[in-house]
Amino acid sequence: MCGIVGYAGPRRAAPILLDGLKRLEYRGYDSAGIAIGQPDGLASVRRVGKIQVLKDAVPKDMAGAWGIGHTRWATHGGVTEANTHPHCDASGKIAVVHNGIIENYRALREMLVKEGVAFKSETDTEVIPNLVAKYYNGDLEAAVKAALAHLEGTYGIAVIHADEPGRIVGARNGSPLCVGVGDGEMLLGSDVMAFISSTSRVVYLNDGEVVALTPSGFKITDRSDRSVDREADAVTWELGAIEKDGYPCFMEKEIFEQPDSIGRALGGRLDQENATAKLGGLNLDRRYQRAVSRVNVIAAGTSWHASLVGTQLLESVARIPAQAELASEVRYRNPVVESGSLWFAVSQSGETADTLYAMREIQRKGANVLGICNVVGSTIARESDGGVYVHSGPEIAVASTKAFTSQLAAFYLFTLHMARMRDMSRAEGERFLAALAGVPDKVRLALAARDRIQAIAKKYSRCRDFLFLGRGLLYPIALEGALKLKEISYIHAEGYAAGEIKHGPIALVCPEVPSVFLVADDPLREKVISNIKEVKARGGPVIAVGVEGDAELEAIVDDFIPVPKMDCRFYPFTMVVPLQLFAYFCALELGRDVDQPRNLAKSVTVE
């Protein structure tokens, strides 16, 4: 993996492919390359490092009006030019780019070696062009389909042949691929970012489908070789939404976009007349919703942390038993799907492999699975039984920020919706609704502590270990704060329920290990303050994120970050913001690549 782009049309392909790869940088990668069809064969340029390194190596006048490109995130084989995509067959006439993992590549490689094929890389991908060559007889699409019959695993691929000018064949199985429909030109990408500067019309492929495109059009067929008719969808994102807009990094921009992104998630969904939330995409009748006896949520990473908040909220407010689980564990556990249970699959990209596969397994067992996604047209959005789009807009930085708070908004809306159908009074519904409507302004106020947070980050950025602690709804926020610090600064950090500090983590407390406590003005406040005093008694520095005006808390900690006072059920929105900024500024102090941290990809489409 990580990013695919293809172009066939009247323009020079090289600049378009390079532009597409640049827009796919946010997915994370370690090398990149392009292959372009020319009158005398395929011309390929591959480089380790950033897109700019590849761009500098591509001849400025490189001809050719069709080709494919790729950003690679190493899975099989090290980060070397030989392992960089595109990969060619032994003749050099066929080039392939590939996202995913071919699980049976060793057996295929051994078979091809016995047939005289010499391999040049350590990758699983290189078996694909050589399999295509084995079956090629003047029809690239037919050869690709014959080759696919041998592949086990996940793939999104794009293939070109020197003898078929202007033709690209793509295929999808577990790794996203979509077609960009232009005016006299066609594009291919692992997501719409690859071609958003050229067209806003997109066709999404489903698993098991193959697409053949030329400048004049495209044809999709399924596993049974039947034609598939599919209309193009409109991409509503504008180019300006994926530019830095004066910010030094996408991550900082996206942190500061959160008042607006949360507002979009709430937009049109707050029903003032009935003191409830409107969620038209659930696709569940009221009788079914009333009968729901349990809610289960599957997710990964940051989305799992949002789900932990959501399930706690559902239990405490809507009084529905709820549980959030790691999708990677659920799939292989043979989960019990009870009658009356409702499931959610939560994913920013809507393409997270662990979550998608777990969702399909649960659906096979007869459950309804609703999606909470940001990307319209993504696989989870299309395959789920209904759900909620969070409308964050494009999130470019690998570490998620605004999508997290928008996912929180979706859970708060669903909780209000379910609670009002059950035991929540109208008066309580009005209070909850008013607090939820006020969240964007409260987040805006929390962001005003930017300079204070930057100074605190400068003070502590050289520490090698951190503890993050919270209770109740703020325990998942502690987990998220620790994850953010790990992701982008590479500082080791652990999140704990504050009440667990004495059950092991207190052994780590010392002057070199700061603790970050989240302290709300709720019934657990005094207990968290007791935990802080335990840490202080052992010489541990304490940073507290607390409610503005809490003089007692500010007096006992080393550094204090205020957030505005609000209904205590809504502090997850405001208390995560300082943790995002703290991680961001620590990473800057350490000279990290904030938007593209090492070893991470934006959309993890392999297990």
Query: Distance between CA 142 and CA 178 in Å, rounded?
Result: 20
Identify the active-site residue in 22, 145, 253, 602. Answer: 602
3-state helix/strand/coil string of 133-186? HHHCCCCHHHHHHHHHCCCCEEEEEEEEECCCCCCEEEEEEECCCEEEECCCCE
DSSP string, 32-69: EEEEEEETTEEEEEEEES-HHHHHHHS-TT---SEEEE
Of how many residues is the chain composed? 607
The partner residues of 344 in beta bridges, in order of sequence, read: 297, 370
For residues 490 and 466, the answer to whether their CB atoms sit within 8 Å is no
Among candidate residues 2, 249, 373, 586, the one labeled active-site is 2
Q: Are 63 and 12 in contact (CB under 8 A)?
A: yes
The answer to whether 297 and 371 are in contact (CB under 8 A) is: no
Residue corresponding to tokens 């070397």: 80
Active site residue 602: yes
Quote the CA–CA distance of 375 and 405 in Å, as a whole number.
15
List all residues 6 or more positions away from 117 whose beta carbon is below 8 Å from its beta carbon.
Answer: 90, 130
Structure tokens at 60: 């400025």
Amino acid in the structure at residue 561: I
Q: Around 22, how many Cα atoms within 13 Å sit in the side-chain half-sphere?
A: 14
| Backbone angles phi and psi of 524, in degrees to 5 | -95, 5
Cis peptide before 511 (omega within 30 of 0): no
Q: What residues have CB less than 8 Å from 396, skipping those under 6 apart? A: 26, 242, 250, 254, 595
Pairing of strands 217-221, 210-214: antiparallel
Q: Is-contact 28 396, C-beta < 8 A?
A: no
SS3 315: helix
Active site residues: 2, 602
